Structure 1
Amino acid sequence: MREEVLVVRRESLFGAQQPQGYIPVQKGFSYLRACRRHSFFAPRHKVENDPTLKQIIPYCVLCWEGRILVVVRKKTQSEARLHGLASVGVGGHITPADGDPADFDRLLLAGFLRELSEEVHVRTPWRATLCGFLNDDSNSVGSVHFGFVYRVECAAAPVVAETEKMRGGLVDASTLTPPEGTRWESWSQILVEAAPLWLNAPPAMSAEPFLITRP
């Protein structure tokens, strides 16, 4: 069976605008509204190289005691264009198993929780804040993806679960640099440069999907 992933048409998402980089959530409510109204599932093999469609990605930055989990993707990871690159975020596609686009908020939450549980070990309690959005059309990966950026504050040190796909470690948030011999993938480079905007950003609202807590 062919894999399907959640997408939204670029025109529906942005209209005449073409925002680039990190967009704080307070300036991006229109993007959430567009995803609520216009997202749908499409075969992954048809959308991977189609910049008229944006694949919606929950992108989670895991924080613990002033440090951030940084991962490096191995060649066993499915997205070949990210092999060997370092990242401050983990996440992935939303699929039909996560729910129905008619209830986008619930679907986004399910995709977020699944990706979080698959890629890392995070002990409760934790608190996740939707800080903003990511768009980067400067490369082949970014041109077909749109990110929902969550800052996840952990009560215990997060560790990589999918060790066959990536390796990781904690890095001081005030001096974020990629591991020796690697470089940031583009979304992470954007977030590192925009760190003051999201590291301590409060929730825009105290309800899901803006604030997610697990006691």
Structure 2
Amino acid sequence: MSIAQVEHILVVPTAEFRNLGYFQGFSPDAPRYLKHLLQPALISFRPRPEMEEDPSFKQLIPYVIFEYVDADGEAWVFQYVRGKGQGESRLHSKRSVGVGGHISSEDAAEHLSGNPYEEGMRRELDEEVEIGCEYEIECVGLINDDQNPVGQVHLGVVHRCRVVQPAVRPRESEIIEAGFVPVSQLLEELDRCETWSSICLQALYG
């Protein structure tokens, strides 16, 4: 792969995150963190291969959870299994409840809104799933997990997307075994989930 073909992704200095108040797991205080971390002076776009091995930077990752509440008031969440051709190889075959991915330098192009994080989140959603109904989306927290190599270089930004119908379908072939599952069932099967999903399910629904 040539230098021109290497993906450059949005990162922030880990020291800046820690200075705001370190936590392990989930924090609902996303607005305070993001107001500081998303300052143009702090974000940069760096080569993804290097950033995957450099814990002095955190890659900001939108992590969107689709929630549907049925007529009986029971919450259902969209979940899937990551195929071997999708994204981070260290997460393959794990169940996930989060849709999203890296923010690319292409999301900061001049013709776009000027908010690369928002542009990147929308792009990732459009690429990965089809939403066939009305929905509302809100940012509900952050995930930090420094207990494994994947988590040490990522910072998840959790968004809850409430859909009026369970009408979310995968666009990518590597998003398999996808569909809405009752939250109560997911909470009983946390050992099958990737770490971020387990953290979110316990924080938001446990």
Bin of the TM-score, shorter chain as denominator length: 0.7 to 0.9
Percent identical across equivalent pairs? 35
What corresponds to 1:161 in structure 2? Answer: 171
CA distance in 2, matches of 1:94, 1:185: 21
- Structure 2 counterpart of 1:115, from 117, 121, 124: 124
Q: CA deviation at 1:11?
A: 0.5
> Partners of 1:11 and 1:131 in 2: how far apart?
23
Q: Compute the displacement of 1:124 (Å).
A: 4.0
**Distance in 2 (alpha carbons) for counterparts of 1:116 and 1:58:** 9
Native 8 Å contact 2:84 2:174 kept in 1: no
- Shift of residue 127, structure 1, vs aligned partner: 0.8
Partner of 2:106: helix, strand, or coil?
helix
1:5–1:165: structure 2 CA closer, same or farther, 3 Å change rule?
same
Pair 1:96–1:46, CA change in 2 (3 A): same
RMSD: 2.5
Q: How far did residue 33 of structure 1 move?
A: 1.4
Aligned AA (1:133): L
Contact persistence 2:10–2:104 (CA under 8 A) = yes
Count of matched residue positions in the alignment of Structure 1 and Structure 2: 194
Equivalent pair of 2:26/2:142 in contact (CA under 8 Å): yes
For 1:107, give the aligned amino acid. P
Which stretch shifts more, 69-78 or 13-22?
Answer: 13-22
Q: Contact 2:62–2:100 at 8 Å: present in 1 too? A: yes
2:59 maps to 55
- For residues 179 and 119 of structure 1, what CA distance do their matches in structure 2 show? 24
Is 1:6 the counterpart of 2:16 in the alignment? Answer: no
The change in CA–CA distance for 1:104 and 1:120 in structure 2 (over 3 A counts) is same
Listed as ranges, the matches of 1:1-215 within 5 Å are: 1-15=5-19, 17-25=21-29, 29-36=32-39, 37-65=41-69, 66-99=75-108, 106-156=115-165, 157-177=167-187, 183-196=192-205
- Spell out, residue by residue over 1:113-142, the C-alpha distance to the aligned partner (whole angstroms, 9 max, x if none): 111111111024211010011110000111
Q: Deviations over 1:146-176 (max 9, x none)?
A: 0110001113321122123433121112332
Does the aligned pair in 1 maintain the 2:83–2:92 contact within 8 Å? Answer: yes
- Structure 1: which 4+ aligned runs deviate by more than 6 Å? none
Give the stretch that moved more between structures: 49-58 or 29-38.
29-38
Q: How far apart are 1:30 and its partner, in Å?
A: 3.1
Is the Cα–Cα contact under 8 Å of residues 160 and 167 in structure 1 kept in the other structure? no
